[in-house]
Amino acid sequence: MAATGAPTRAAEARRAGALADLVAALRTLAFLDRRRVAAYALIVLAGYLPMMAKVFLEATGSAGSDFLAFWGAGRIVAAGTPALVYDIATEQAAQAASGTGQLVVFVNPPPYLFLVAPLGYLSYPAAWIAWALAGWAAWFAVARKVLPDAWPAILAFPAAYLAASHAQNGFVTGALLIGAVLALRRSPVLSGVLFGALVIKPHLALLVPFWLAAGRQWTAFAAAAASATLLCLLSLLVFSADTWAAYPESFKASATLMAQEPGPFFLRMCTLFAALRYHFDPTVALVGQGLLSLGTAAVACLFWKRAQDEMAAGAMLLAATALASPYLFSYDLAFLALPVFWLAGEARRTGWRPWEKSALVALWLAPLATRAVALPLEINLMPLAAAALVWMIWRRAKPVRAG
């Protein structure tokens, strides 16, 4: 028995030692230096190429894509009838030229037509490619300023892949949010103009007015109000009052989507509302999301007292936005590049804390990882990742105690 027991105890000791080594490695992730981060990011980028090719073939085949709504609206505007972008029969006729056999209703407000109008002069496949590549390039040009030497990891940010593969507007809104935060210190007017441009997707600016007021950023606040108003007036002049009068018709499509029975649609959303709605009734979902939105608004506003500068406060704003908005999809999350890489920059500057590097890697992967497991697990875990990001930013603003 002794002869048998000794090897067993030795094996158990080796396993325990290996586990301890693994925990120690994950605690610091010391091997993951800048050179390896860049190399791994480039490998991920290479992996996106066949994935994007597959998505493109599906988008231009019978599966279709969300991009149909933008391209179809562009065709209607190009035809000189912008007021009909919210008419379903006209949308269906315009999108039929794609050959996909699919219909995606256009629900964005009239100022968004300035972006999609040029698409109507391109074929559907050419417009899809141009939209995805131009969006990725524009977003990257802004986002890389957060941490310039980490550009491969920023370019390969999984939320960017999701924005590109859906050919959605996550790059546009992401560039506006990140650009507005980056501009706040040197040009509050420009910052406000960029924030105001989010009138094209206002639920992503839910916290912005409260955050600007809490930080006493009155110049940016006024510029944002003026920017949003001017964009609405310009769209009124260019696309006519009839287009604005027709816009409420799009609310019916949105209401129909939100009123449907729990299913894949809610699993593809990455909000607490959707997570609760999949398992509970609408009242529970609305109350839960309402409380979370109020809580994150308070955190974002109170953080101004802890933040060392506008960049830190902005990192909290964008992290909190991922929790506060009740209507959010994974392709919207390109704006999280700022809080994620702000944390990385702060850790480089002041030193990495235990588990922080591993947590940041997980958060970098979170938009794509949570989307991938949402359907199999029947829950989207992105709100938990966003909450962890908020907590890490809050904790980063607190000085580390000696010892």
Express each pLDDT in 19-52 by its tens digit.
676 787 778 788 888 999 999 999 999 999 999 9
pLDDT of residue 15: 76
Task: Please give the average per-residue pLDDT across 213-236, as a whole number.
Answer: 98
The DSSP bridge partners found for residue 329 are 269
Mean pLDDT rounded to a whole number for the chain: 92
Amino acid at 388: A
Task: Please give the average per-residue pLDDT across 296-311, as a whole number.
Answer: 94
pLDDT of residue 258: 79
Amino acid at 68: L
pLDDT of residue 4: 57
pLDDT of residue 1: 45
pLDDT of residue 261: 81
Q: Is residue 403 over pLDDT 50?
A: no
Least confident of 95-99, 145-149, 250-254: 250-254
pLDDT of residue 398: 66
Q: Is residue 112 over pLDDT 50?
A: yes
The DSSP bridge partners found for residue 188 are none
| pLDDT tens, position by position, 343-394 | 999 999 999 999 899 999 999 999 999 999 999 999 999 999 999 999 999 9
3-class SS at 230?
helix
Distance set, CA 29 to CA 36, 37, 177, 192, 361 (Å) = 11, 11, 31, 39, 10
Task: Please give the average per-residue pLDDT across 289-318, as a whole number.
Answer: 96
pLDDT of residue 224: 98
Distance set, CA 27 to CA 111, 225, 340, 355, 358 (Å) = 48, 46, 18, 4, 7
Domain coordinates of the chain in residue numbers?
A: 132-396
Do the beta carbons of residue 335 and residue 326 sit within 8 Å?
no
Task: Please give the average per-residue pLDDT across 299-312, as a whole number.
Answer: 94
Do the beta carbons of residue 150 and residue 36 sit within 8 Å?
no
Take residue 217 and report the two structure tokens written for it: 């950023």
Number of residues that make up the chain: 403
The residue whose two tokens read 């085949």 is: 61
3-class SS at 329?
strand
**How many Å from the N-terminal Cα to the C-terminal Cα in the chain?**
48
3-class SS at 257?
helix
Q: Is residue 342 over pLDDT 80?
A: yes
Task: Please give the average per-residue pLDDT across 212-238, as a whole number.
Answer: 97
The DSSP bridge partners found for residue 269 are 329
Confidence of residue 251 (pLDDT cuts 50, 70, 90): confident
CA 237 to chain centre: 31
pLDDT of residue 30: 81
pTM score: 0.92
| pLDDT tens, position by position, 66-92 | 999 999 999 999 999 999 999 999 999
Take residue 191 and report the two structure tokens written for it: 């910052």
Q: Is residue 400 over pLDDT 60?
A: no
Task: Please give the average per-residue pLDDT across 291-301, as a whole number.
Answer: 97
Q: Is residue 10 over pLDDT 80?
A: no
Do the beta carbons of residue 199 and residue 374 sit within 8 Å?
no
What are the DSSP calls for 13-43, one per residue? HHHHHHHHHHHHHHHH-TT--HHHHHHHHHH
Please give the backbone phi and psi of residue 153, each rounded to the nearest 5 degrees, phi first: -70, -35
Confidence of residue 3 (pLDDT cuts 50, 70, 90): low
- Burial of 41-72, coded b for 16+ CB within 10 Å and e otherwise, reads beebeeebeeebeebbeebbeeebbebbbbbb
What are the DSSP calls for 282-318, one per residue? HHHHHHHHHHHHHHHHHHHHHGGGT-SSHHHHHHHHH
Take residue 316 and report the two structure tokens written for it: 């909290």
| pLDDT tens, position by position, 186-217 | 999 999 999 999 999 999 999 999 999 999 99
Task: Please give the average per-residue pLDDT across 126-153, as a whole number.
Answer: 97
